[in-house]
Amino acid sequence: MLPILRTSWPALVTRVRLLRRRPLLLNVRSLLQRIPFKPLDVNCLYLLEYVGIPPEHPGSLRGRAEVRRGTLEDLDALTQCQDKRLAFLNRFKANDQCAVAVLDGRIVGYQWFCDRPLYVEERYSCPIEVPRDTVYEYDIFIVPEHRLAGLWFKFHCLYLRDLMGRLDRQRVIGLVDYGMRLSMNTHLRFGFRLFRRVLVIQIFGKAICVGRAIRGDRASLPRWISGGGTAESRGAERAESGSRAARTEPAIGAARATNAPRST
């Protein structure tokens, strides 16, 4: 017994440390997912906006992958990325736009865009209004071995840029789940800003969505994003580090919208 205790104690300590580093709600959700039949789920969704048309960012030119419009003929290849065939079919039927990244004849990533007046979030059925000047982006997926290949930029700075030009749209909105640090920080550094928080409580498949606006540049960022702060302070941090990052490779925050209204 003693050798078992000696070997298991360090593992237990390591596990506790990892749990303490994770955002609290993620730990709560992990526990809820272990309950048979999953009767309860709690989540927090953050809506972000980007004003203007994404620029032709240098990061969008990295790598050999080509980005093009996805069609119904790509359904099998999309399903090989993620097994969501019915969801993909419904999106095509709703005329949502699909962008795919293709490398050596294989689809290695995709992202979806909606220009309809109302988008219904697929997991919780939360309604998301899409204004006439706006494109809603959702469900980006990149296969693990290509997640550092600049495909996020290609989707935004090539495909989305062209789509917004064709549709005459001047704003992008997107959604990030609570605890998704990498996704949230990527959006913020690119130039997105938080504008709404939605608390979701789902009981036996029935969801209640309660939204609250996040107003102004001084809106508090979630504490799970590198210790919190404000949108304004995060912008100042980007500006301060921009010159240093430029010596190595273009920083994500260097992206600048075209046709975006100037602040006064």
Is 262 part of any domain? no
Angle, helix 181-190 to helix 231-246, in steps of 10 degrees: 80
The one-letter amino acid code at 195 reads F
The one-letter amino acid code at 252 reads I
Is 151 part of any domain? yes
What is the reported pLDDT for 11?
Answer: 61
Is 8 part of any domain? no
Least confident of 136-140, 182-186, 196-200, 234-238: 234-238
Is 206 part of any domain? yes
What is the residue range of 48's domain? 29-254
Q: What share of the chain is helix, strand, coil (3-state, %, to 5)?
A: 40, 30, 30
What is the number of structural domains in the chain?
Answer: 1
pLDDT tens digits, residue range 218-256? Answer: 456 777 776 545 444 444 444 333 333 333 333 333 344
Beta strand 118-120 pairing with 127-129: antiparallel
Is 17 part of any domain? no
Q: What is the CATH number of the domain that holds 83?
A: 3.40.630.30
pTM: 0.77
Is 263 part of any domain? no
Is 68 part of any domain? yes
Distance, in Å, from the CA atom of 256 to the CA atom of 235, rounded to the nearest integer, reads 12
Q: How far is CA 1 from the centre of its chain?
A: 47
What is the reported pLDDT for 253?
Answer: 32
Is 42 part of any domain? yes
| Residue whose C-alpha is closest to residue 99's, from 85, 113, 88 | 113
Least confident of 49-53, 75-79, 191-195, 236-240: 236-240
